[in-house]
Structure 1
Amino acid sequence: MQSSNPVLSRQDVFSRNGYATFRTEPETQAPDGLRRQFSPSGPVSTQPMTLDDVISRTGLLLVIAVATGAAAWFAEVGFGLAIVAALVGFGLAMVNSFKQVPSPPLIMAYAAVEGVFLGAVSRAIETSDPNLDGVVVQAVAGTAIVFGVMLALYKSGKIRVTARFTKILIAATVAYMILMFGNLLLHLFDSGFNAWGGGMGLATAAIGVVLASLFLALDFDMVENGIRMGAPQIESWRAAFGLTVTIVWLYLELLRLISILRSE
C-alpha cells in the first residue's frame, strides 16, 4: 500500500512485512539485498531504520523549524520574505520528495526555510487583531495534542489504515487542495471566499484539520511498514521529512481554525 504523502510513497521502502513497528507484532527482517538497492554505489548503511531513528530525526527537524521560526518572528521579516520562504520551501519539498536517496542537508534546509515561513505568518496573524493574542501558542498546543491522540488511536488499532481508508482520504485531500488552490486563483480577480474568516473559511479550516489529522495515521502506517521491511537507516530521514510536512500542514490549519473562531 502506498501513502498519498509523496514523501512516503516509495513502495519499495514503505511497504508491508516487518522489522520493528509502532505496534507489537511478530518481527521479520528484509533481506540484505533490499537495503543495498537505494544507492547506485552500494549500501547506504548496514543498519536498518528504527523507530528511534525516525523519532530523533523528526524531533531535530521540528527544533530547526522552531528555531528559524522564532528568529523570523523576532526579526519581523514580513510577508515579502515569508512568500519567498514559502516558494523555496515548496521547491525543497519537491526535490526531497523525489530524490532516490534522502539528503539530510536538503531536508534540514527545508525545515529551516519552512520555519521562517511559519514564523512570519504566525506573527502576522497574532498581531493582526488584539483578540488573537496567544493564538500561536494554542495552535502549537493543539498540534501536539492532535498528534498524540492520533498516535494513540493508531497504536490501539482504533484507526486502521486500509486500502479503502487510503483511497477515500486521497480523494478528499485532492478535492480539498483543488478547492483551496482555485479559491486562491479567484482572489487574483477579487473573487472567491475569505479563507481566514466567514462560514466558508471556518468550514474549510475544520476540514483541513480533519484531513491533516488523518494523514498522520497514514504516515504512521507507512513509517511502520518501512521499519518492518528493514529499510536502510538513511530512509529514516525521508520518514521524518514526511511527518514534518504533515505536522506543518496540521499546524497551519489549526492556526487558521482557531484564528477564525476567536476573531468572530
Structure 2
Amino acid sequence: MESRNPVFGRSEEFARGGYATFDTRTPTADDLQGMYDSPAARSRNTDRMTIDDVVIRTASLFGVLLVAAVAVFALLKPGDPALMMVTFGGAIVGLVLSLVISFSKKIRPALMLTYAAAEGLFVGGISLIFETVYPGIVIQAVLGTLGAFGAMLALYKFNVVRATPKFTRTLMIAGAGYLVFGLINLVVSLVTGSSAYNSPIGWAIAAVGVVLASFFLILDFDFVEQGIRNGLPQQYAWTAAFGLVVTLVWVYIEILRLLAILRGDD
C-alpha cells in the first residue's frame, strides 16, 4: 500500500516492500547461528533509520516550532498590527515550504527546520489571538492534541485501527471533502462575512475536522513503521518527523477551533 500522506505519498521508500526490504529467503542453520552470535545492531552500525532517529528529529522540529511560538507570545501583544502579519506570514511561508519539501526528491533538513520556525510563528500567533478571546484555551488545545496523539498511537499499537487500503481510501475521500468544504467556506466567509462554523452545526463540523486530523496520525504511524521495516537510510527519519509535525499541527488547529466554538456558546 502506498502512502497517501502528502509528505510520504511520492516516496516509494515508505511503501511496503519498497527501497531495501530485507532478503526474504529461508535462512539456513548457519545463517541463524551467525545472527544469534552477532551483537545487536544499532543505527550507527547499520546507518538505517530507527524509531529513536524519528523521535529525535521530531523533537528537534518541535523544539524549533515551540521556540518560535513562545517568542510570539512573549514579544507581541493582542491588537498589535505585527501580530496579524507574523501569523499570516508564517502560515503562507509554512505552506509554501511544506509543498517544496513534500515534492522535492531530496531530503532537506534545513528547509524542514525553517518550516518548523515559520509554522511556529503561525501557531504562536493564532494561539495568542484565541487565548485573548478565550483565556485558557491554548493549554486545553495542547492537552487535547497530546491526548489525540496518545489515543491514536494506542489504537495503532494494539491493532485496533490499521491503515488498510479500505481505511486509507475512506480517510482520503473524507479528507478531500473536508478540504473542499474548508475552501468553499473560506470564500463564502470572505464575501459575506458569515461562516458555516457560526451555524448551529458548526461544532459538529469542527468535530469532524478533529477526528479526520487525528486519524491521519494512523497513516503516519504506518508509514514510519514501513520505512523502518524497509531498512531506509537514517536520513529518512527527517521525512518521517516532518510528516508527523505537519499532522500534529493540523490536529492542534482543529482542536483549537472546536474549543473556540464550544466556548463561544457559554
- Could you say whether these structures have the same fold, taking a TM-score greater than 0.5 normalized by the shorter chain as the test? yes
Aligned to 2:260: 259
Paired residues of 2:107 and 2:235 also in contact (CA < 8 A): yes
- Aligned: 1:102 with 2:102: no
Paired residues of 1:18 and 1:230 also in contact (CA < 8 A): no
- Aligned: 1:122 with 2:127: yes
Aligned to 1:37: none
- Aligned: 1:151 with 2:153: yes
Query: Aligned-pair RMSD on alpha carbons?
Result: 2.0
TM value normalised by structure 2: 0.85
SS in 1 for 2:15: coil
Match of 2:83 among 78, 81, 84: 78
Matches within 5 A, 1:173-188: 173-188=175-190
State the 1:51 CA deviation: 0.7
Distance 1:127 1:74 in 2: 14
* Amino acid of the structure 2 residue aligned with 1:252: I
State the 1:204 CA deviation: 1.8
State the 1:11 CA deviation: 4.4
Paired residues of 1:193 and 1:200 also in contact (CA < 8 A): no
Distance 2:125 2:62 in 1: 16
Aligned to 2:142: 140
Per-residue CA deviation, residues 139-181 of structure 1 (Å, 9 max, x unaligned), is 0011011101110110100001110000000000000000001
Paired residues of 1:184 and 1:192 also in contact (CA < 8 A): no
* Amino acid of the structure 1 residue aligned with 2:58: T
Distance 2:163 2:177 in 1: 20
State the 1:92 CA deviation: 0.4
Match of 1:29 among 18, 22, 45: 22
**Which deviates further from its counterpart, 88-97 or 2-11?**
2-11
Q: Using a 3 Å threshold, how does the CA distance of structure 1 residues 18 and 4 change in structure 2: closer, same or farther?
A: closer
Matches within 5 A, 1:188-199: 188-190=190-192, 192-195=194-197, 197-199=198-200
Runs of 4+ aligned structure 1 residues displaced above 6 Å come to: none
SS in 1 for 2:186: helix
Paired residues of 1:30 and 1:230 also in contact (CA < 8 A): no
Percent identical pairs in the alignment equals 45
Aligned to 1:4: 4
Per-residue CA deviation, residues 89-131 of structure 1 (Å, 9 max, x unaligned), is 1010001101112111100100010000000000001102xxx
State the 1:201 CA deviation: 2.6
* Amino acid of the structure 2 residue aligned with 1:213: S
Paired residues of 2:18 and 2:230 also in contact (CA < 8 A): yes
Distance 1:80 1:16 in 2: 43
Structure 2: runs of 5 or more not aligned:
25-44, 77-81
Aligned to 1:91: 96
Query: How many residue pairs get matched?
Result: 239
* Amino acid of the structure 2 residue aligned with 1:118: V
Paired residues of 1:18 and 1:227 also in contact (CA < 8 A): no
Per-residue CA deviation, residues 172-201 of structure 1 (Å, 9 max, x unaligned), is 000000000111011221155243x44243
Paired residues of 1:136 and 1:255 also in contact (CA < 8 A): yes
Aligned to 2:52: 52
Aligned to 1:165: 167
SS in 2 for 1:92: helix
Distance 1:127 1:172 in 2: 32
Paired residues of 1:146 and 1:213 also in contact (CA < 8 A): yes
Structure 1: runs of 5 or more not aligned:
20-27, 32-44
Distance 2:50 2:10 in 1: 17
SS in 2 for 1:13: helix
